[in-house]
């Protein structure tokens, strides 16, 4: 198992075939204001690849964009809504098709209201995640070892959780419902980017 840090793009050919786990680190939670700093990826083989973008980056990244935009490759996220918006805004691609472990968790783990990544990894895989670096400065010139490990751990377990959650969705008869949610997520992200992040357009309320 190794963590690889790349600058401005993903090298060609470093990912194996099949689904890829994806996550992002930004300067904050407001996509238009808080720039995209890191994109993390894993093909599930045990290695994680981190692509870092510097201040003023043109976000060219042709190899990364090709992987993210590949319609034949499933992308695994935890809270895909945020990552999809950041990727679309800064990289200009729709990183779909999507499987979101947070949405899947909410559909099948109805016995709890704890659907964070740390909670899921603990229950489903019996492992502990550290969230100490969650609020650190991702825009600095150097990412320290703790930041690299934190970023890598956000994609490290998504393949294993995907397998478990797919089985639970099937068991509970909610696979089709989950898929409909996943298919809508790129549109939900575009609504966020267009100014409807805090408004439920499906609500009867104005």
Q: Name residues whose C-beta falls within 8 Å of residue 45's C-beta, 6 or more positions apart in sequence.
A: 16
pLDDT tens-digit map of 23-79: 999 999 999 999 999 999 999 999 999 999 999 999 999 999 999 999 999 999 999
Whole-number Å distance between alpha carbons of 105 and 184: 17
Per-residue pLDDT tens, the chain, 206 aa: give them. 899 999 999 999 999 999 999 999 999 999 999 999 999 999 999 999 999 999 999 999 999 999 999 999 999 999 999 999 999 999 999 999 999 999 999 999 999 999 999 999 999 999 998 766 667 899 998 999 999 999 999 999 999 999 999 999 999 999 999 999 999 999 999 999 999 999 889 999 87
Whole-number Å distance between alpha carbons of 35 and 86: 8
Cis amide leading into 97 (omega within 30): yes
Q: Looking at residue 68, what is its pLDDT?
A: 98
Q: Name residues whose C-beta falls within 8 Å of residue 152's C-beta, 6 or more positions apart in sequence.
A: 3, 40, 42, 48, 50
Q: Where are the beta strands (DSSP E) in 45-120?
A: 48-52, 75-77, 98-100
Q: For residue 148, is it within any domain?
A: yes
Q: How many CA atoms lie within 13 A of 172 on its CB side?
A: 17
Whole-number Å distance between alpha carbons of 172 and 174: 6
Contact 18, 64 (CB under 8 A): no
The dihedral built from the CA positions of residue 176, 121, 94 and 198, taken in this order, carries a sign that is positive
Q: For residue 80, is it within any domain?
A: yes
pTM: 0.95
- The CATH number that applies at residue 49 is 3.30.420.10
Helices (H), 36-99: 62-69, 80-91
Q: For residue 152, is it within any domain?
A: yes
Q: For residue 205, is it within any domain?
A: no
Q: For residue 204, is it within any domain?
A: no
Instruction: Give me the number of domains the chain comprises.
Output: 1
Q: Looking at residue 2, what is its pLDDT?
A: 95
Supply the range of the domain harboring residue 176: 3-136+144-196
Q: For residue 206, is it within any domain?
A: no
Whole-number Å distance between alpha carbons of 21 and 23: 7
Q: For residue 201, is it within any domain?
A: no
């Amino acid at each position: 198992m190794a963590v690889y840090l790349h600058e401005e793009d993903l090298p060609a050919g470093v990912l194996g075939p099949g689904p890829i786990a994806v996550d992002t680190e930004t300067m904050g939670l407001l996509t238009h204001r808080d720039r995209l700093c890191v994109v993390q990826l894993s093909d599930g083989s045990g290695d994680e690849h981190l692509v870092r973008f510097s201040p003023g980056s043109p976000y060219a990244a042709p190899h990364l964009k090709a992987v993210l935009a590949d319609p034949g490759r499933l992308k695994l996220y935890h809270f895909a809504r945020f990552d999809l918006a950041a990727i679309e805004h800064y990289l200009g691609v729709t990183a779909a098709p999507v499987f979101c472990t947070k949405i899947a968790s909410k559909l099948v783990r109805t016995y709890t209201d704890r659907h964070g990544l740390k909670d899921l990894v603990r229950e489903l895989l019996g492992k502990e995640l550290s969230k100490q670096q969650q609020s650190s400065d991702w825009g600095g010139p150097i990412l320290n070892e703790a930041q690299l490990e934190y970023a890598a751990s956000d994609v490290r377990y998504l393949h294993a959780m995907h397998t478990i959650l797919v089985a639970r969705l099937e068991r509970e008869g909610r696979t089709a419902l989950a898929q409909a949610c996943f298919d809508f997520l790129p549109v939900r992200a575009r609504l966020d980017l267009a100014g409807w992040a805090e408004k439920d357009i499906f609500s009867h309320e104005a």
